[in-house]
Structure 1
């Protein structure tokens, strides 16, 4: 499974997913993209986008990304 870490996610979280292929938005070449553009670029290339941005709105039209997940320790949404 390929995970994409949003710009607002602490880079240290990568260590929490050793069994997955993890890339940052910067590494993927998506730095600075608006939310909608980021989702468009990530769809088909990544399975999950992880963000702590609580203002993020995920449209149902982006079927290529998995469902969102909540972190039980901090109540942040993982998309």
Structure 2
């Protein structure tokens, strides 16, 4: 399973997910991308995006 950690999540959190492929938004070169566009990018490449953002598009 491929997981994406939003830039608001501490990258150390990735250690909790053993046996998963994990990338962070900055690792993908997506730092600063707005939430709606970020969701579209993430949907194309990841199974799950972990964030604490409250203003995501539905």
In the superposition, the TM-score normalised over structure 2's length comes to 0.89
**Ranges in structure 1 where 5+ consecutive residues have no aligned partner:** 60-79
Aligned to 2:55: 56
Greater RCO (CA < 8 Å, at least 6 residues apart): 2
**Ranges in structure 2 where 5+ consecutive residues have no aligned partner:** none
CA RMSD of the aligned region, Å? 1.1
Shift of 1:44: 1.8
Shift of 1:56: 3.2
* Structure showing the higher helix proportion among its residues: 2
1:1-79 mapped onto 2 (5 Å cutoff): 1-53=1-53, 55-59=54-58
Q: Look at both structures and tell me which one has the larger radius of gyration over its CA atoms.
A: 1
Count of residues in Structure 1 that have an aligned counterpart in Structure 2 = 58
Q: Tell me which stretches of 4 or more aligned residues in structure 1 moved more than 6 Å.
A: none
Residue-by-residue CA offset, 1:15-52 (whole Å, 9 max, x unaligned): 00011000000111111000001011111200100012
